[in-house]
Structure 1
C-alpha cells in the first residue's frame, strides 16, 4: 500500500508487476518514478537492488560457469590513481556479438561510471592538458561536475587513461562488462525499456548524472553502458579510427545494444562522446562505500 502510494499507482498495478516479473512492461512515467525512489534510497538499499539485478543473470550456456556472475557482481574497489570506483569483472567466457559467439576475457576492473567532468578537470589541472572547448572560461559549470565529460577525442581519452594508470577498454572487455556472460541484449536484460537509460526516446536531450539510472546497471553493477554518451574504446577498426560503444542521449535505444558497432576518427569530438577506463587485476584499494 505505502509503496504504491509513493509511486502514485494502484495496488493492483504493483501486484501485476510482481506477477509478471521480468516480462512486466512499465509506462515510462512509472519507470521514472521507480528510478527517482531508488535515487532517494540509502546506499545499503541501492546496493541490495544492484545485487538483485545481478542475481537474475544466471547463465544458461554450458560453456559458462553457473554461479560466476551471481557470486562476483557488485564488487567495487577504489583506484589509487584517480580515486574512481571500479567494478570487478571475473575472467571467463562470455557470449559476444550479435551471434553470441563465446569469447574468453581475462579478469579486470572497469570504471563503475563514465569519466565525469570533475574527474577530467583534475586531470587537466595536474597535467595542463587542454580542457574541452565548450567549458566556459576554461572551467566546467558546477552543475555538470557529475555528468560525463564530452568533447574529448580518442587521444584525449587515452591521455587521461595513461595519467590515471589505466587504459581504455577493449571491445571485448567493454561488451562483457555491459552484457554479462549469458548473452542478454541490454545490460538490464532483453526488454526494450528506454526509461532505464538516457537515450533519444527518454526525451532528456542532454547528458545526465552518471549515477542517475540505477535500474539500468549491468550484471556487474556498471552504470550508463547504454545511453548518456558514446564511449571510446582501445580497439581500432582501421588506422586512426577506434570503436565506440553504448550510444548516447542523441541516439535511439536500438543503437545502444552493447553488441552494436560504431567507430570514429581519433580526432573527432562532439557533445555526446566520452569514455571510461579499465585496469587488469592488480592491487587496488577496497572501497568502504
Structure 2
C-alpha cells in the first residue's frame, strides 16, 4: 500500500491560488464522433481497436484506496480508433495557428511547473508553492509554449516539437479534440487501449517494471523529489515515440505525461447500480476529470500511478508541466 499524499501527482488551481472571476465555463462533453470510414484523414497515426469485453480495474491494494481502482469488473466497448501517440507540441501548435485558441494557462497568466525545471532567470516569476507538495511552483508566464517558465520556449528546440504538449487543461484538450474531429477517450477506452490485450497485468507490457533490466517508460529514477538519475533516458518529458509500444502499438501509455479522459472522476460510481458495463462514461456530473497513465514525475514512493489500473484527477481548468492527452474517434463496426 502506498502511504504518501495521494494528491501530489498534479496540483489543481484551487490548491493555492484564487480562481479568476471570469473563469471559463467547462467545455461541453462530447461522447461520440462521426464514425471513421475507410481512408478517413482523422485516423492517420491512430490504431483501430475492435473493442469487446475486458477486465477493468484491479483488486490489488498497491494503490490509494481513495482512487477507487477496484473492484475489477467486466466492461464491454464498441470499436474505436485511438491516437498512437500523445498529442505533440507540433500538433498543438498547428491547432493554435489554425484557430487562434488561447489556453487556460494563458488566460490565467500562470501554470504549475516542477521546481527542478524552473530556470534561475524565471525564479522571480514564481507565485508560490503547493502545500504538501512544495515541488510544484505556480509560475507566471508558464504555458504550453513556455513549459518551464517565461525563458523557455518549445519552438527554440526542434526536438521539443516531438514531445507531448503539456500545460493543457481538460478544457484545452477538449477544444483540440473538437477541432480535430475527435474526442477524449472515456476512462474505460483508455484502460482497454493501455492494457494492449493483456489481462490483469500491472503494466502495459506485463508485471515486471523493467523486464530484463530494460526501461519501458519515463518515470522518476532515484529519490523523489531530490534526485532523478535519468536512468530511463529522460529527466523531463520524452519524445512521444520513445520506448517500445504496447501490444496494440500505443506508445507511452505509462509515464511521460498524464492523459486527460472524458469522464468526471468518482471513487465509487463504478460500484453503484447506475454504472453501465457497456461503454461506461462515468457519472454525469462532478468537479474533477479523470487522468490516466502517470508521468515522468511519478515514483513508487509518492505517486505509484504509472500502473495501468491507476487513476488520478484534476479540475478541468488546471494545467501543469506533466499533463497532456491523446484522442479517439468512433469506428464503424464494419470498417
Per the shorter chain, which TM-score range?
0.5 to 0.7
1:236 and 2:261 aligned: no
Match of 1:171 among 168, 174, 187: 187
Alignment of 1:43-62 (within 5 A): none
Alignment of 1:31-110 (within 5 A): 80-81=41-42, 84-99=44-59, 100-110=72-82
Match of 2:241 among 198, 211, 224: 211
Match of 1:191 among 192, 197, 208: 208
The structure-2 alpha-carbon separation of the partners of 1:250 and 1:90, relative to structure 1 and needing over 3 Å to count, comes to same
Deviation at 1:84, TM superposition (A): 4.3
**In 2, Cα distance between the equivalents of 1:79 and 1:278?**
13
**In 1, Cα distance between the equivalents of 2:327 and 2:90?**
15
- The CA deviation string for residues 157-199 of structure 1, in whole angstroms up to 9 with x for no partner, is 0000000001000000000001125222211111122711000
Deviation at 1:212, TM superposition (A): 1.3
1:130 and 2:102 aligned: yes
Q: Identify the residue that residue 93 of structure 2 maps to in structure 1.
A: 121
- The CA deviation string for residues 191-214 of structure 1, in whole angstroms up to 9 with x for no partner, is 122711000027222001111112
**In 2, Cα distance between the equivalents of 1:187 and 1:140?**
32
The structure-2 alpha-carbon separation of the partners of 1:113 and 1:129, relative to structure 1 and needing over 3 Å to count, comes to same
User: Are 1:108 and 1:281, in contact at CA under 8 Å, matched by a contact in 2?
Assistant: yes
User: Are 2:79 and 2:332, in contact at CA under 8 Å, matched by a contact in 1?
Assistant: no
User: Are 1:115 and 1:275, in contact at CA under 8 Å, matched by a contact in 2?
Assistant: yes
**In 1, Cα distance between the equivalents of 2:160 and 2:57?**
34
Deviation at 1:88, TM superposition (A): 1.4
The structure-2 alpha-carbon separation of the partners of 1:282 and 1:124, relative to structure 1 and needing over 3 Å to count, comes to farther
- The answer for unaligned runs of 5 or more in structure 2 is 1-37, 60-71, 107-142, 222-228, 266-284
4+ residue segments displaced more than 4 Å: 136-139
Alignment of 1:124-163 (within 5 A): 124-130=96-102, 133-135=143-145, 140-141=155-156, 142-163=158-179
TM-score (norm 1): 0.66
Match of 2:253 among 225, 238, 251: 225
- The CA deviation string for residues 142-163 of structure 1, in whole angstroms up to 9 with x for no partner, is 2211000000000000000000
Q: Identify the residue that residue 299 of structure 2 maps to in structure 1.
A: 252
TM-score (norm 2): 0.57
Deviation at 1:264, TM superposition (A): 0.2
How many pairs are equivalent?
206
The structure-2 alpha-carbon separation of the partners of 1:108 and 1:268, relative to structure 1 and needing over 3 Å to count, comes to same
Higher relative contact order (CA 8 A, sep 6+): 2
The structure-2 alpha-carbon separation of the partners of 1:153 and 1:168, relative to structure 1 and needing over 3 Å to count, comes to same
| SS across alignment from 1:244 | strand
Aligned CA RMSD, in angstroms, stands at 2.5
